[in-house]
Amino acid sequence: MSRRAKWSIAGGITLVVVVGGVVIAATRAPKRVEVRIEPVIRRDLVASVTASGQIQPHTKVDMSADISGRIITLAVKEGQTVKKGDLLVQIDPATYQAAVERSQAGLSAAKAQAIQAQANEQQADRTYDRSAQIKKTNAQLISDEQLEQLRTAMDVARATTQASQFLVEQAAAALRDDESNLSKTTIRAPISGKITRLVVQQGETAIQGTLNKDAATLLTISDMSVLETKVKVDETDVAHIQVGDSAIVQFDAFPDTTFRGRVTKIANSSMKTPGAAANATSTDQAVDYEVTIQLLNPPADSRPDFSATAKVITDTRAHVLSIPIIALTVRENEKVTNGDSAVTLGRAAPVKTVGKRDVEGVFVVGANDRVTFRPVKVGIAGDKYFEVESGLRENDRIVGGTYQAIRDLKDSALVRQAKTDSNSTAKAKA
């Protein structure tokens, strides 16, 4: 066999050995978990509570009639702007005008009776005075009985005069009542604003709204210069909101525009949902509180009942350490002792361990690409990141995703940076 052939055979054997060694090493090498590795850096965070509601004017008046009658004049249209004192509705005043005239006649009659009663009283006084004088001069001319009768007549006349005065006051009160009803046939605007609701037409009959306000409502005037939204906030979030907190409000009608707002009122009692009384003993009943947010720059063309979403800013942090929300996970890492020793984190307790407690933390990537679970204390939560109060340092490398990988990750596992699609990355940056 030639020298070349020998060298070829030796080279082939060496190649087979090398390839075999590589294959064996690859099969024996521990499997690495693909994760997204991120550094712990500083960010500006904003904590917020998001809730939805409807836009309503701060001041609005539902106009209803205080009397019944046919509408003979409807001076406004829906959407029209009115000023305080402008004519809105005129109800047929004929019946009420007749009542006023009748009361005026009754008052005149009562006054005439009062004058007559006063004259009778004066006559009775003079008759008694003359008889009493005669009695003093000559007691035989007028008996005591006659004098007593005259005194009684004088008292009766005086009482009749007082009664006639009361009748005059009664007639005057009836006149004022009828005049008030007559004035109520003319309905004027109590505030300046816009007619946002008009439910009657000229010729219809207006009814009193004492017992059924909704059916008696003629129209609604809204002051659209001051708008607010009342949103429902869950009981777990309402404790973080305070009066005066700023808010960002977005209307469904203006999806590309946001408006500034401020919390002006927080309800002290929860909102009652339909059927809540029947299910009062249920523990899964949602508890919401009404929070009122006043808009600081309301749009000019807004309308009542627009759907709105409010984002209430509850807290802010500037340039703080932060981690992705998805990176925070829970593990059984804190050992609970029997009470003879302090609780230790990640270390064996010097006394008997009776259980473990779940703690929040993240997986920190070491220099050898092995991860270690480290408990951390977090502060406020922004849209995507938690504030880190303790447990991590700046530029520590942590596992920031994916959710599935973090959920299944264990201590000392080997990880590697997941490959990202350059096209999708470019789209995300764009």
pLDDT tens digit sequence for 145-195 = 887 888 898 888 899 999 999 999 999 999 999 999 999 999 999 999 999
Q: What is the pLDDT of residue 286?
A: 78
Q: What is the pLDDT of residue 150?
A: 83
Instruction: Look up residue 325 and give its DSSP letter.
Output: G
Q: How far apart are CA 345 and CA 195, in angstroms?
A: 66
Q: How far apart are CA 55 and CA 414, in angstroms?
A: 54
Q: What is the pLDDT of residue 428?
A: 39
Q: Under a CB-based contact definition with an 8 Å cutoff, are residues 164 and 34 in contact?
A: no
Q: What is the pLDDT of residue 40?
A: 94
Q: What is the pLDDT of residue 191?
A: 93
Q: What is the pLDDT of residue 394?
A: 93
Q: What is the pLDDT of residue 99?
A: 94
Query: Whose CA is closest to 310, among 82, 88, 48?
Result: 48
Q: How far apart are CA 428 and CA 27, in angstroms?
A: 37
| 324 alpha-carbon distance from chain centroid | 31
* Domain coordinates in residue numbering, the chain: 33-46+320-423, 93-184
Q: What is the pLDDT of residue 46?
A: 92
**CATH number of 33-46+320-423, picked from 2.60.40.2470, 3.30.70.580, 3.30.70.2470, 2.40.420.20:** 2.40.420.20
Q: How far apart are CA 406 and CA 36, in angstroms?
A: 10
Tokens of 392: 């991590």
Q: Which residues are within 8 A (CB) of 175 and not within 5 positions of it... i.e. 6 or more apart?
A: 100, 103, 104, 106, 107
Vertex 229: Cα angle to 226 and 235 (nearest 5): 145
Crossing angle for the helix pair 94-137 and 144-183, to the nearest 10 degrees:
160
Q: How far apart are CA 189 and CA 59, in angstroms?
A: 13
Secondary structure (3-state) at 221: strand
Q: What is the pLDDT of residue 346?
A: 43
Q: What is the pLDDT of residue 127?
A: 85
Q: How far apart are CA 220 and CA 82, in angstroms?
A: 11
Backbone angles phi, psi at 70, to 5 degrees: -80, 135
| 182 alpha-carbon distance from chain centroid | 40
Query: Whose CA is closest to 65, among 206, 186, 221?
Result: 206
Backbone angles phi, psi at 179, to 5 degrees: -65, -35
Q: What is the pLDDT of residue 144?
A: 80
Q: Is the pTM of this model over 0.85?
A: no
Mean pLDDT by groups of 10 residues along the chain of 430 residues: 58 58 51 89 93 92 91 93 94 94 94 91 85 79 81 89 92 94 94 92 85 80 92 91 93 89 93 56 73 90 90 92 92 53 43 62 91 92 91 92 87 85 42
Cα distance from N-terminal residue to C-terminal residue, the chain: 68
Q: How far apart are CA 152 and CA 421, in angstroms?
A: 118
Q: What is the pLDDT of residue 124?
A: 87
Q: Which residues are within 8 A (CB) of 19 and not within 5 positions of it... i.e. 6 or more apart?
A: none
